[in-house]
Amino acid sequence: MLLTSFPPFQLSDVEGVSKECRLQSRQFIEDLKKFKFWALKMYDGGAKFPSGILHGNINQLGDFDMCVDAHSKERNIHGQYCLTNIEIEIPKSTYMSGLYQLMMAYDHIKTRIEDSGHRVPRFSSIMWAVCIPSVCTHEEVEKGLSKAIQKITEGTDLKLRHKVYPENCHAKDKWETPTSTYVALFLLAGFISWLIFATLYHHWSFNPQNEWVMAFSLKKNFDSLFTIKKNPNEVEILHGIRWLNALALIAAHKNMAMLFEPYANRTSMVD
Protein backbone atom coordinates (compact mmCIF):
# COMPACT_ATOMS: atom_id res chain seq x y z
CA MET A 1 0.00 0.00 0.00
CA LEU A 2 2.84 2.38 0.87
CA LEU A 3 4.62 1.82 -2.45
CA THR A 4 1.36 2.23 -4.36
CA SER A 5 0.50 5.54 -2.71
CA PHE A 6 4.04 6.92 -2.80
CA PRO A 7 5.94 4.97 -5.48
CA PRO A 8 9.74 5.18 -5.27
CA PHE A 9 11.82 6.57 -8.10
CA GLN A 10 13.50 3.61 -9.75
CA LEU A 11 15.04 2.74 -13.12
CA SER A 12 14.44 -0.99 -13.49
CA ASP A 13 11.92 -0.56 -16.32
CA VAL A 14 13.44 2.43 -18.11
CA GLU A 15 14.76 1.99 -21.64
CA GLY A 16 18.37 2.88 -22.33
CA VAL A 17 19.54 2.10 -18.80
CA SER A 18 22.54 -0.18 -18.18
CA LYS A 19 22.08 -3.75 -16.96
CA GLU A 20 23.83 -3.00 -13.66
CA CYS A 21 21.56 -0.04 -12.97
CA ARG A 22 18.44 -2.02 -13.86
CA LEU A 23 19.51 -4.98 -11.72
CA GLN A 24 20.31 -2.92 -8.64
CA SER A 25 17.12 -0.88 -9.07
CA ARG A 26 15.13 -4.11 -9.20
CA GLN A 27 16.91 -5.43 -6.11
CA PHE A 28 16.16 -2.15 -4.35
CA ILE A 29 12.44 -2.55 -5.05
CA GLU A 30 12.49 -6.20 -3.94
CA ASP A 31 14.12 -5.37 -0.61
CA LEU A 32 11.93 -2.32 -0.16
CA LYS A 33 8.84 -4.52 -0.36
CA LYS A 34 10.41 -6.61 2.40
CA PHE A 35 11.08 -3.44 4.42
CA LYS A 36 14.83 -4.06 4.48
CA PHE A 37 16.50 -1.24 6.40
CA TRP A 38 18.96 -0.18 3.69
CA ALA A 39 16.18 -0.02 1.09
CA LEU A 40 13.98 1.99 3.44
CA LYS A 41 16.83 4.48 3.87
CA MET A 42 17.10 4.90 0.10
CA TYR A 43 13.36 5.32 -0.21
CA ASP A 44 13.24 7.75 2.70
CA GLY A 45 16.17 9.75 1.31
CA GLY A 46 14.33 10.74 -1.86
CA ALA A 47 11.78 13.53 -2.21
CA LYS A 48 8.04 12.90 -1.81
CA PHE A 49 5.06 14.81 -3.14
CA PRO A 50 4.71 17.83 -0.83
CA SER A 51 1.85 19.87 0.54
CA GLY A 52 1.48 23.61 0.07
CA ILE A 53 2.47 23.63 -3.60
CA LEU A 54 0.29 26.68 -4.27
CA HIS A 55 2.26 28.46 -1.54
CA GLY A 56 5.47 27.86 -3.47
CA ASN A 57 6.63 24.75 -1.59
CA ILE A 58 8.06 23.09 -4.68
CA ASN A 59 11.69 22.39 -3.77
CA GLN A 60 12.03 19.00 -2.12
CA LEU A 61 15.61 18.15 -1.17
CA GLY A 62 14.95 14.78 0.46
CA ASP A 63 17.56 13.65 2.97
CA PHE A 64 21.12 13.69 1.65
CA ASP A 65 22.76 11.85 4.55
CA MET A 66 20.03 9.23 4.69
CA CYS A 67 20.48 8.47 1.00
CA VAL A 68 24.27 8.28 0.79
CA ASP A 69 24.43 6.23 4.02
CA ALA A 70 22.17 3.55 2.53
CA HIS A 71 24.27 0.47 1.82
CA SER A 72 23.59 -3.21 1.31
CA LYS A 73 26.65 -5.39 1.93
CA GLU A 74 24.77 -8.44 0.70
CA ARG A 75 23.94 -6.90 -2.68
CA ASN A 76 26.83 -4.41 -2.79
CA ILE A 77 24.52 -1.47 -3.41
CA HIS A 78 25.34 2.07 -2.34
CA GLY A 79 22.83 4.90 -2.28
CA GLN A 80 23.39 7.86 -4.59
CA TYR A 81 21.76 11.25 -4.07
CA CYS A 82 20.85 13.23 -7.20
CA LEU A 83 19.26 16.66 -7.16
CA THR A 84 17.29 17.13 -10.36
CA ASN A 85 16.09 20.38 -11.91
CA ILE A 86 12.63 20.59 -13.46
CA GLU A 87 11.25 23.62 -15.27
CA ILE A 88 7.58 24.18 -16.11
CA GLU A 89 6.84 26.17 -19.23
CA ILE A 90 4.21 28.85 -18.61
CA PRO A 91 0.83 27.34 -19.57
CA LYS A 92 -1.23 29.06 -22.25
CA SER A 93 -4.57 28.96 -20.44
CA THR A 94 -5.30 31.81 -18.03
CA TYR A 95 -6.36 29.49 -15.22
CA MET A 96 -3.32 27.22 -15.44
CA SER A 97 -1.07 30.25 -15.78
CA GLY A 98 -2.50 31.60 -12.52
CA LEU A 99 -1.75 28.32 -10.76
CA TYR A 100 1.74 28.40 -12.20
CA GLN A 101 2.32 31.88 -10.79
CA LEU A 102 1.29 30.71 -7.32
CA MET A 103 3.54 27.66 -7.52
CA MET A 104 6.55 29.62 -8.76
CA ALA A 105 6.06 32.57 -6.36
CA TYR A 106 5.18 34.89 -9.25
CA ASP A 107 8.56 34.24 -10.88
CA HIS A 108 10.16 36.62 -8.41
CA ILE A 109 13.48 35.99 -10.16
CA LYS A 110 13.10 34.73 -13.71
CA THR A 111 15.69 32.08 -14.50
CA ARG A 112 16.17 29.20 -16.89
CA ILE A 113 17.23 25.64 -16.26
CA GLU A 114 20.45 26.26 -18.21
CA ASP A 115 21.58 29.00 -15.81
CA SER A 116 24.58 28.18 -13.66
CA GLY A 117 22.74 28.77 -10.38
CA HIS A 118 25.89 29.92 -8.58
CA ARG A 119 25.35 33.64 -8.11
CA VAL A 120 21.56 33.62 -8.40
CA PRO A 121 19.49 30.49 -7.65
CA ARG A 122 17.45 28.78 -10.33
CA PHE A 123 14.32 30.34 -8.88
CA SER A 124 12.09 29.19 -11.75
CA SER A 125 13.21 25.55 -11.45
CA ILE A 126 11.87 22.82 -9.22
CA MET A 127 14.63 21.05 -7.30
CA TRP A 128 13.63 17.44 -6.69
CA ALA A 129 15.86 14.89 -4.98
CA VAL A 130 16.01 11.23 -5.97
CA CYS A 131 17.93 8.39 -4.34
CA ILE A 132 19.17 5.66 -6.67
CA PRO A 133 21.90 2.99 -6.74
CA SER A 134 25.36 4.47 -7.25
CA VAL A 135 25.99 2.43 -10.43
CA CYS A 136 23.39 4.56 -12.22
CA THR A 137 24.60 7.67 -14.03
CA HIS A 138 23.07 11.13 -14.18
CA GLU A 139 22.11 10.47 -17.82
CA GLU A 140 20.13 7.42 -16.70
CA VAL A 141 18.43 9.50 -14.03
CA GLU A 142 17.38 11.92 -16.78
CA LYS A 143 15.86 9.05 -18.75
CA GLY A 144 13.95 7.85 -15.70
CA LEU A 145 12.80 11.38 -15.01
CA SER A 146 11.54 11.70 -18.59
CA LYS A 147 9.39 8.62 -18.13
CA ALA A 148 8.02 9.82 -14.78
CA ILE A 149 7.22 13.28 -16.17
CA GLN A 150 5.49 11.76 -19.18
CA LYS A 151 3.15 9.83 -16.88
CA ILE A 152 2.39 12.92 -14.80
CA THR A 153 1.71 15.28 -17.70
CA GLU A 154 -0.18 12.81 -19.89
CA GLY A 155 -3.55 14.26 -20.86
CA THR A 156 -2.64 17.79 -19.76
CA ASP A 157 -1.24 20.84 -21.55
CA LEU A 158 1.69 21.03 -19.16
CA LYS A 159 5.16 21.00 -20.69
CA LEU A 160 8.14 20.26 -18.47
CA ARG A 161 11.85 20.39 -19.13
CA HIS A 162 14.38 18.72 -16.89
CA LYS A 163 18.12 18.48 -16.37
CA VAL A 164 20.39 16.47 -14.09
CA TYR A 165 23.88 17.89 -13.70
CA PRO A 166 26.65 15.36 -12.93
CA GLU A 167 27.96 17.54 -10.10
CA ASN A 168 24.57 17.22 -8.39
CA CYS A 169 24.89 13.44 -7.99
CA HIS A 170 26.80 12.18 -4.96
CA ALA A 171 27.62 8.73 -3.59
CA LYS A 172 30.08 7.71 -0.89
CA ASP A 173 31.75 5.07 -3.03
CA LYS A 174 32.37 7.69 -5.75
CA TRP A 175 33.71 10.52 -3.62
CA GLU A 176 37.02 11.77 -4.95
CA THR A 177 38.83 14.99 -4.21
CA PRO A 178 39.22 16.84 -7.53
CA THR A 179 42.59 18.20 -8.63
CA SER A 180 41.19 21.73 -8.50
CA THR A 181 40.76 21.37 -4.73
CA TYR A 182 44.44 20.55 -4.27
CA VAL A 183 45.41 23.46 -6.53
CA ALA A 184 43.19 25.84 -4.55
CA LEU A 185 44.61 24.61 -1.23
CA PHE A 186 48.16 25.01 -2.56
CA LEU A 187 47.47 28.58 -3.70
CA LEU A 188 45.78 29.40 -0.40
CA ALA A 189 48.72 28.02 1.57
CA GLY A 190 51.10 30.03 -0.61
CA PHE A 191 49.10 33.21 -0.07
CA ILE A 192 48.99 32.73 3.71
CA SER A 193 52.73 32.06 3.74
CA TRP A 194 53.32 35.26 1.78
CA LEU A 195 51.19 37.24 4.24
CA ILE A 196 53.22 35.89 7.14
CA PHE A 197 56.48 36.69 5.35
CA ALA A 198 55.32 40.23 4.51
CA THR A 199 54.25 40.86 8.10
CA LEU A 200 57.58 39.63 9.49
CA TYR A 201 59.40 41.69 6.86
CA HIS A 202 57.48 44.77 7.98
CA HIS A 203 58.28 44.11 11.62
CA TRP A 204 61.98 43.28 11.31
CA SER A 205 63.25 45.07 8.20
CA PHE A 206 64.89 48.49 8.10
CA ASN A 207 64.36 51.33 5.67
CA PRO A 208 64.04 51.43 2.75
CA GLN A 209 61.27 48.84 2.61
CA ASN A 210 59.97 47.22 -0.57
CA GLU A 211 56.50 48.62 -1.34
CA TRP A 212 55.32 45.46 -3.11
CA VAL A 213 56.08 43.34 -0.06
CA MET A 214 54.68 45.92 2.36
CA ALA A 215 51.36 45.91 0.51
CA PHE A 216 50.69 42.43 1.96
CA SER A 217 51.74 43.20 5.53
CA LEU A 218 48.94 42.35 7.94
CA LYS A 219 50.20 44.93 10.41
CA LYS A 220 50.21 47.73 7.86
CA ASN A 221 46.78 46.86 6.48
CA PHE A 222 45.29 46.47 9.95
CA ASP A 223 46.56 49.91 10.94
CA SER A 224 45.19 51.42 7.72
CA LEU A 225 41.75 49.87 8.15
CA PHE A 226 41.26 50.78 11.79
CA THR A 227 42.99 54.13 11.98
CA ILE A 228 41.00 57.05 13.37
CA LYS A 229 43.34 59.70 12.02
CA LYS A 230 41.71 62.16 9.66
CA ASN A 231 43.19 63.29 6.39
CA PRO A 232 42.55 67.02 5.89
CA ASN A 233 42.22 66.48 2.13
CA GLU A 234 39.57 63.73 2.23
CA VAL A 235 35.84 64.19 1.58
CA GLU A 236 34.23 62.68 4.67
CA ILE A 237 30.79 62.20 3.13
CA LEU A 238 32.27 59.49 0.91
CA HIS A 239 32.74 57.29 3.98
CA GLY A 240 29.00 57.39 4.61
CA ILE A 241 28.27 56.50 0.99
CA ARG A 242 30.69 53.59 1.19
CA TRP A 243 28.98 52.39 4.36
CA LEU A 244 25.54 52.52 2.74
CA ASN A 245 26.82 50.67 -0.33
CA ALA A 246 28.39 47.98 1.85
CA LEU A 247 25.14 47.61 3.82
CA ALA A 248 23.08 47.31 0.61
CA LEU A 249 25.52 44.74 -0.77
CA ILE A 250 25.28 42.61 2.37
CA ALA A 251 21.47 42.82 2.32
CA ALA A 252 21.34 41.83 -1.37
CA HIS A 253 23.62 38.84 -0.87
CA LYS A 254 21.68 37.76 2.21
CA ASN A 255 18.40 37.98 0.31
CA MET A 256 19.76 35.95 -2.62
CA ALA A 257 21.15 33.34 -0.23
CA MET A 258 17.70 32.96 1.34
CA LEU A 259 16.20 32.18 -2.06
CA PHE A 260 18.32 29.01 -2.23
CA GLU A 261 16.57 27.61 0.83
CA PRO A 262 13.50 25.38 0.47
CA TYR A 263 11.57 27.34 3.09
CA ALA A 264 7.83 27.04 3.53
CA ASN A 265 5.34 29.37 1.85
CA ARG A 266 7.76 30.99 -0.59
CA THR A 267 4.89 32.75 -2.38
CA SER A 268 3.86 34.52 0.84
CA MET A 269 7.41 35.79 1.32
CA VAL A 270 7.43 37.32 -2.16
CA ASP A 271 4.08 38.99 -1.46
Please indicate, yes or no, if residue 197 is contained in any of the structural domains.
Answer: no
List of residues 6+ apart from 77 with CB closer than 8 A: 24, 27, 28, 38, 70, 71, 133, 134
Residue 3, pLDDT above cutoff 70:
no
Mean pLDDT computed over every residue of the chain: 83
Using DSSP bridges, classify how beta strands 71-72 and 169-171 pair: parallel, antiparallel or unpaired.
Answer: unpaired
Please indicate, yes or no, if residue 180 is contained in any of the structural domains.
Answer: no
Domain span holding position 119: 2-174
Please indicate, yes or no, if residue 67 is contained in any of the structural domains.
Answer: yes
Handedness of CA 103, 7, 128, 39 (dihedral sign): positive
Alpha carbons 7 and 66: distance in angstroms, whole number:
18
Please indicate, yes or no, if residue 114 is contained in any of the structural domains.
Answer: yes
Please indicate, yes or no, if residue 193 is contained in any of the structural domains.
Answer: no
Measure CA 235 to chain center: 44
Please indicate, yes or no, if residue 227 is contained in any of the structural domains.
Answer: no
pLDDT tens for 60-109 read 888 999 999 999 999 999 999 999 988 888 777 788 778 777 777 776 66
Please indicate, yes or no, if residue 181 is contained in any of the structural domains.
Answer: no
Q: How many domains does the chain have?
A: 1
Please indicate, yes or no, if residue 205 is contained in any of the structural domains.
Answer: no
pLDDT tens for 106-146 read 766 676 676 666 666 666 778 889 999 999 999 999 999 88
User: Could you tell me the pLDDT band of residue 271, with boundaries at 50, 70 and 90?
Assistant: low
Residue 163, pLDDT above cutoff 70:
yes
